[in-house]
Structure 1
């Protein structure tokens, strides 16, 4: 795919593919898209573009800016992007020279600035931090509380950096935040979605696996797989049992199983709302049950038991529900939030897997059960479903997950690619065809949804990466 050369200022953080413009989050720019997509360029073997990016990192990027940034987003996208690039550069040919530590050195500089977020009274990280002054900042909303997900979704990156550098401060700060959470652990491992950095106490009662709650649960099992610390396996198993006991239910017509919300906490009424973000869960359940092995390999282990069998069945059912969120819309793409017609006769807690009715496979009954409200109909190119499909295919080898993933990719190609073919954009309303386009491409689009598809999906993507990189070339 050939692309026009753009005249954008270096360091811009956002790409607007319809207007062919860029914007930035700080006066000098932080290079969000470039850093988030470094590993994608390595996997695609875009050596020239990667060279351009490395030059910009070396000459044009500085974190010494008087700029407030979100602690969580900066950790997972910027720090995570740099660490992923460093890791891949040690594995892939032509990704880096043996003496090139640009990614790691930038990661250390950024992480040292992010450590200011952990200097709260409790050790729970502040929602934001000024990377110039290294001062942590309370959230401007929610009474100053940090979201639970954001406070507990920084550990993988910090612990890996500690491993690479030998600097235990990164590990200690991140681990201390988890200890505070564990010390205040709530009933059945389900946490309210806000925690205050001054006290370390939870605020409000709302429990959900969507926004502000999601990645706390995702990082529990991933921290166990990363470090083998038994406490994270225990926390994950307790939380998963709590999810099945309090949040899992099914729909009226098709028996689709979904994860509801508890706006008033445990004991309160269920809200039949499920964010697309929740679709991280089936993939996480699968890697938790198999510990990263294939299902065939895991079944041969002495540790395989009936509970793991039930967990894999739940992973399959929830993956189907996440696919249904795509399959029922006119565009074939999921809304940001889905509402379900819950079966009000379901007992609580939900029955054990062996006694649950299996979900139906016909889209007609799915459409009876799934509601898309106008304010929830947008699609932000989120990766959770395709990531779970990727994991489920790798774990089970069932071709249905590859098929569903390919259908989703084709829908993205059809509806989110802009008219001249030079970029992908988020959508305003997935229930309409053509779907109104928003003129914004999320940085994670180049990293997570695309990387979870087959290598054929990279053909069109290569042009998009090339176009963005043009704006990141260092000044002479």
Structure 2
């Protein structure tokens, strides 16, 4: 159905908006260094353990910025507003941590000049106490975004990476890619943050260039940069959420098309599986510098939403066809029960090893099977998704002891071998994804009225709820109330601790997956427990990851209270985690799930009818043939396929971390 502009989006012509802009322009909410950066120093400064955000890019240190004029402009504000900024920061934190049970029903925290009038203009129904509470909490998420954004704008504007503790920025390429800025643009549109959005748009228009002789990771650049630009175009043109774009309505699309044309070279492999990296200037694809040259299966299979939408916008089939072929090549490997190994060679199109997991390097393969179907209605991908989910339930779903938490295990040596009770935080996208596959974005109540609802749908609903509880417990069992990067679930009936966290896995990277699932579970079930869990997690982030002077950072260990801080703000903190918190606390008519599909970086893209120009360009092998091949593969599990398997693959050869990689 057509997407109408939600009633609760911000009005950029409202006089309140001018007050909001003036408030943040003058508040100076970030103040000068006060020594906190010296607490951590350079402990996490090596490329191997910290930066940049993805693995295949050489590390560059940037001691100077080409954007000094912007920093000087902000410094003028800082020199005048230091005291006011410190006061605002303290007051905002006070409002975050005050007991919610005793909040007066008509009181709103200090946040971007909010008042009752603005609250009611955002909300589409009568003011009720419950509604008021969640709108109040949503405003605090916006505050957190602005504290993060102001710190970045002040100390690292134009840089790809931001280190809030030391108040410095670094680049991922000599000229920078606009990593943080582009990733956060659609969040500002959704939150109605007019002034910082204008600042970001100006940078994209005047400073962003992808004409750089530099290798970049194909996947990360697609989901963050291409996805961010396409989402910005969608929200700006279809929903008018960027009034400044009227002067140049094709700005975001032009940048996206230029970037996509440069990324196309990654698909020019002998097999059609995209190379892990590509040179932006030459268009030459580059094999992975680790993992024996194999690409990550998740990364090669998580490019399709962006490229298909670009084909729709441009009327060009090449983007669609190049990205689509990768899925066909993987499927023609005939994975057992729809479960794919986590590495695949771009040169041959064959999987490397047999390791199966829904965490790092495997996760979003399954996510995009479903979301391709939701985006374009192609039934082939629904079939593949359901086959894979049946394999997940058959081989990977297990219970812990003594509480019988449901979790998704790993198969380090492949299907038919012993399981590992390890579950990455990345796997916590699954509860929401499973339920999305049940309802297709409608509510559970609506979906149950459909004749298509049956036993499988009941089972998947229950599985989604159980997995969501387990992901919440990964937060609930730590001293900080924040989840580790990796958890192990106890499968020993004599054990008395369900969740075990090892010290090397206890870091927190501000990841969004649990919040994403809470948002989806809330939207589809209407059970307010998911909002309450989200609010508890949000408060834990505010308490432990806030940096003195402004901004938020990743943490070294969630097992210590207080935790030590890592001095790095991930771009997905702005693009995903805070966006999903904001949507979790928003009315449901803001970006309805029946009208949009979120890419794996939380960039909303529209659902669309691909006809008449586009259609699925391949068909699957007959089911009887696929079954025969599956049996052969299981019997040959000890064969040559395992020679390349690296049992330590989760950490071996990783120069730096990416969205679908673990960090140790």
Q: Which residue of 2 aligns with 1:159?
A: 308
Q: 1:206, 1:38 → 2: CA distance?
A: 37
Which among 277, 280, 293 is matched to residue 128 of structure 1? 277
Give the alignment partner of residue 341 of structure 1, picking from 490, 499, 513: 490
Match 2:507 to one of 378, 385, 389:
378
The answer to whether 1:40 aligns with 2:187 is yes
Q: Are 1:261 and 1:273, in contact at CA under 8 Å, matched by a contact in 2?
A: yes
The 8 Å contact of residues 425 and 441 in structure 1, kept in 2 or not, is answered as yes
Query: What's 2:56 paired with?
Result: none
Matched residue, 1:73: 220
Greater mean alpha carbon deviation, residues 90-99 or residues 291-300: 90-99
Q: 1:408 aligns with which of 527, 531, 537?
A: 537
Corresponding position of 1:59: 206
CA distance in structure 2 between the partners assigned to 1:454 and 1:287 by the alignment: 19
Shift of the alpha carbon at 1:97? 1.1
Tell me the equivalent position of 1:388.
517
Counterpart for residue 474 of structure 1: none
Q: Deviations over 1:93-142 (max 9, x none)?
A: 44431752110000000000000000000000000001011110000111
TM-score, length-scaled by structure 2: 0.64
Deviation per residue, 1:292-323 (Å, 9 max, x gap): 11101111111111110110000000000000
Shift of 1:237: 0.5
- State the alpha-carbon separation in 2 of the partners of residues 303 and 86 from structure 1: 35
Instruction: Please name the residue that 1:357 is paired with.
Output: none
Q: C-alpha separation between the residues in 2 aligned to 1:413 and 1:93? A: 28
- 1:188-203 equivalent positions in 2, closer than 5 A: 188-203=337-352
- The structural deviation recorded for 1:92 is 3.2
Q: Does 1:331 align with 2:460?
A: no
Q: Which residue of 2 aligns with 1:447?
A: 575
| Equivalent position of 1:291 in the other structure | 440
Partner of residue 417 from structure 1, selected from 530, 538, 546: 546
CA RMSD of aligned residues (A): 1.7
Cα deviation per residue 1:308-355 (whole Å; 9 max; x = unaligned)?
A: 01100000000000000000000000000001111469xxxxxxxxxx
8 Å Cα contact 1:67-1:130 kept in structure 2: yes
Q: Please, which of 432, 435, 438 is the counterpart of residue 566 of structure 2?
A: 438
Query: Counterpart of 1:275?
Result: 424
- CA distance in 1 between counterparts of 2:157 and 2:559 reads 37
Question: Larger Rg: 1 or 2?
Answer: 2
Q: How many residues align?
A: 437
1:227-306 correspondence to structure 2 within 5 Å? 227-306=376-455
C-alpha distance in 2, partners of 1:457/1:302? 32
- 1:92 aligns with 240
Q: Structure 2: where are the runs of 5+ without partners? A: 1-26, 32-73, 76-153, 587-664
Q: Residues 52-95 of structure 1: CA distance to partner in whole angstroms, max 9, x if unpaired?
A: 11111111111000111000000000000001101110203444
User: 1:175: Cα distance to partner?
Assistant: 0.6
SS in 2 for 1:129: strand
Mapped partners of 2:241, 2:520: distance in 1: 26
**For the residues of structure 2 that align with 1:281 and 1:9, how far apart are their CA atoms?**
34
Deviation track 1:133-175 (CA, whole Å, cap 9, x = no partner) reads 1110000111110010000000000001111111110000001
